[in-house]
Structure 1
Amino acid sequence: MKTPIRMGAHIEGVHWVAEYLASTHEIRVFRDGRAVDTFAAPAALLGEEDDAGSASDEASRAEDAAVLAVLRRYVAELNAEE
């Protein structure tokens, strides 16, 4: 079983974390340590690299960047609604 990919960022003074679960292809979002949402990850989130099981540093950085991009988009959309 692949370990979850966790990425965090401080956005407008709030600590956000996104956790990608490969087994369910879902992303859980945490705000200041509390789970606030779970949703299906975009179909092309990791592309073929996810299936290939690549363990290179470049692949890991790309996975981290993809999860962080989803988190930032999620927060931007949430802030736009408020």
Structure 2
Amino acid sequence: MMIEDMLADLGCESVTSAATIDQAIALIDAQVFDAAMLDMNLNGKNSRAVADALAAHGVPFVFSTGNSVHDVWDGLQRPCCS
């Protein structure tokens, strides 16, 4: 919720959140997103399917997670800084 509030304060017109993988995928299928923030764990489950759905829809996303960069799944790792 804190991230939602911060994004709204930064001027985002619409912020949508999902607590489960099924909710997230349903939202991705039903709406157009400019960008997304994704935790690697949604409600205790690996969120790789959500990352795959975002990528398939061409939605740029970042991970917002307590995991380390070494935990990011193959094919989704990108250097954060140059």
Structures share fold, TM-score greater than 0.5: no
More strand by share: 1
TM-score, normalised by the number of residues in structure 1: 0.23
TM-score, normalising length: structure 2: 0.23
